[in-house]
Structure 1
């Protein structure tokens, strides 16, 4: 009779390491996806180009299948609508990502911002704020911006 209660308490206080690793990985994926979705939502309209840039960044960062990407993006869009700050997303990244990975997230954000061919002031402000929360130096922030801007220009002049 006490075994079910003991099992419940054990699961609560000492979760399975495999499950917590999965939850942690999914949490980082969701945090990254939410920040990219927030860039899409920060200007007047979400364009197909911004959505494609978001999917490309998530696919590159996490190597997910199309179904996993679709579910992650839907969950990120839902989560972004109810989020009132970015700290819970950036703090997970600060705990788990290397500095290079955090800079890469900022670069992905810039790629989404430049995807529609127009950099909105709200996008610029959002990325600046997130870069600060991720402890990305101003130099790395600018380098990521320039790299994404150059990549966006190359994409327009040399269609593949």
Structure 2
């Protein structure tokens, strides 16, 4: 399985223009892996977080159940195996505009709050990823407040 993931990234990063579908699939995997990183940052994968992650990915990428299952599995494995976030972050920065990167940070906050608490390790991970994604501190705070407001309403 790890070989499959590595080939997937190597093919796309070696020739980013080779295939739109592959590029999109890799972008989906990069996004899912970063979100998965946030969900597991506190060393506890809560069922509410996993359910929300699945919902977020399905909504964002309009995936059917089988594709969503595969994406969740690959993202979990990739997040477990990754030494750093460079491959994910660089791909996202290349394909997402600033507003989309802010939306991704908001999704991270929503995911971190899904279990009813914002663990300090989750906040640290989101802050680090927001910095790597070149999301300003003010937008980092704005997305956090948006997610907290949504969590308190729902």
TM-score, structure 1 as length reference: 0.83
Other-structure match for 1:121: 120
Change over 3 Å in CA distance of 1:136–1:17 after alignment to 2: closer
Instruction: State which structure, 1 or 2, has the greater radius of gyration over its C-alpha atoms.
Output: 1
- Answer yes or no: is the 8 Å Cα contact 2:33–2:79 preserved in 1: yes
Other-structure match for 2:106: 107
Other-structure match for 2:20: 21
How many residues of Structure 1 are paired with residues of Structure 2 in the alignment? 142
Other-structure match for 1:150: 149
Shift of 1:61: 1.3
Structure 1 unaligned spans of 5+: 1-11, 156-160
Shift of 1:139: 1.1
Change over 3 Å in CA distance of 1:94–1:16 after alignment to 2: closer
Shift of 1:44: 3.6
Secondary structure at the counterpart of residue 58 of structure 1: helix
TM-score, structure 2 as length reference: 0.86
Change over 3 Å in CA distance of 1:48–1:97 after alignment to 2: same
Deviation digits for residues 21-79 of structure 1 (CA, Å, limit 9, x no counterpart): 11110111001100111111111421111011111211121111111111100000011
Question: Whole-Å Cα distance in 1 between the matches of residues 49 and 97 of structure 2?
Answer: 26
Other-structure match for 2:48: 49
How much is the aligned-residue C-alpha RMSD, in angstroms?
A: 1.9
Structure 2 unaligned spans of 5+: 1-10
Question: Whole-Å Cα distance in 1 between the matches of residues 15 and 44 of structure 2?
Answer: 42
Which stretch shifts more, 18-27 or 80-89? 18-27
Change over 3 Å in CA distance of 1:17–1:107 after alignment to 2: closer
Deviation digits for residues 81-124 of structure 1 (CA, Å, limit 9, x no counterpart): 10011111010011011111111111111111000001111100
Question: Whole-Å Cα distance in 2 between the matches of residues 32 and 92 of structure 1?
Answer: 9
Runs (4+) of structure 1 exceeding 2 A deviation are: 15-19
